Amino acid sequence: MPSTNHTIAQCACGSVEIDVYGEPILGAACYCDDCQKGARQLEALPGASQLMGADGGTDLLLFRKDRMKCSKGSDFLRDYRITDGSPTRRVVATCCNSAMFLDFQKGHWFSAYRARFGNNAPPIQVRIQTKYRPESRSTSNEIPEYKSYPLKFITKLMVARIGMLLGQ
C-alpha cells in the first residue's frame, strides 16, 4: 500500500481502526432504497449512531479495496445484509455498533461511512440515486445531484479499477 496520505477510520469507542491510503475515489451521498433500508437496519442496533442524514442520504467515501485494511479490532467486525443473498455487506464494529463500511462484493471498492473519519473527512462531491430521496426532504443546491449514477461516478470507478490492475 502507498504510504502517503494515510488516514484512519475509527469506530465510536476507538476499538476498531481501518487504515486508508490515498484519496477517496469519490465522496457521495447515496439515496438508493438499499442504502436507506440498510441504514435503518444498522441504526436500530443498540447504541448505534444515525447514518442517514435529515434528507435521507447516506454519506460515503469510496476507496479502492487495495487501499483499506483493518489495523485494529478486526474481531469486532460483523457483516449485515439486507437479505441473505445480497451482494452488499454492511460491516459494523460490534463493540459500539458503529457502521464502518459497505462492501459491494462484486466491485473493487469499499464505501466507508464518512462519519468514521470524524472532522478530517473529505467532502461529499455528488448526491446519487436521488430518485429514491423522500419527496418531503430537500438538500442544499451546492452539491450536484443525479437521479441515478452519473458518468463522472462510473468514470472514477473505472479509472480506479485500471489503476489497481496496473498496480498504481
* 3, pLDDT greater than 60: no
pLDDT digits (tens, 9 = 90+) for 105-128: 888 999 999 999 998 899 999 999
**How far apart are the C-alpha atoms of 142 and 60, rounded to whole Å?**
17
pLDDT digits (tens, 9 = 90+) for 54-68: 889 999 999 999 999
Question: What is the pTM (predicted TM-score) of this model?
Answer: 0.90
Where are the chain's structural domains? Answer: 6-165
CATH placement of domain 6-165: 3.90.1590.10
Grid cell at residue 37: 433500508
| Position 142 confidence tier, pLDDT thresholds 50, 70, 90 | confident
**How far apart are the C-alpha atoms of 144 and 78, rounded to whole Å?**
33
* 40, pLDDT greater than 60: yes
